[in-house]
A = this chain, B = another copy of it.
Amino acid sequence: MKRKSQQRIGAAAPAPPLGALSLSTGKRARLWRLLYGHGPANGTLMILPLDQGLEHGPADFFPNPQALDPAYQVRLALEGGYSAIALGIGLAEKYMAEAAGRVPLVLKLNGKTNIPDDAEATSPLTATVEDAVRLGADAVGYTLYVGSPRQDAELREYGRVRRDCERFGMPLVLWSYPRGSAIDAKGGRLSLFAQDYAARVADEMGADVVKLHEPAADGEGTPEPYRSLAETRDERLRRVVRSAGRTLVLFSGGAKDDDAERVLQKVKLYMASGASGVMFGRNMWLRPMDEALALTRRVRSVLSRYPR
Contacts and interface: CB of A to CB of B under 8 A. Distances in A.
Interface string A207-238: 10000000000000001111000000000000
B131 A163 contact: yes
A54 B201 contact: yes
Contact of A156 (B115, B126, B156): B126
Interface in A235-253: 242-243, 245-247
A134 to B, nearest CB: 8
A79 interface: no
A15 interface: no
Interface stretch (A37-45, A85-93, A267-275, A291-299): A85-93
A276 interface: no
Interface string A66-90: 0011100000000000000000111
A16 interface: no
Contact of A226 (B59, B69, B148, B226): B59
19 contacts: A57-B200, A59-B226, A62-B225, A69-B242, A90-B202, A90-B247, A91-B204, A94-B203, A94-B245, A95-B245, A111-B204, A115-B146, A116-B148, A116-B182, A117-B182, A124-B152, A125-B156, A126-B156, A134-B166
Contact of A223 (B59, B159, B166): B59
A155 interface: yes
A151 B110 CA distance: 12
Contacts of A197: 57-58, 113, 115
Interface string A154-182: 11101100110010000000000010111
Contacts of A156: 124-126
B89 A205 contact: yes
Nearest to A63: B225
B89 A206 contact: yes
Between A112, A116, A180, A245, the greatest number of chain B beta carbons within 10 A of the residue's beta carbon is seen for A116
B91 A203 contact: yes
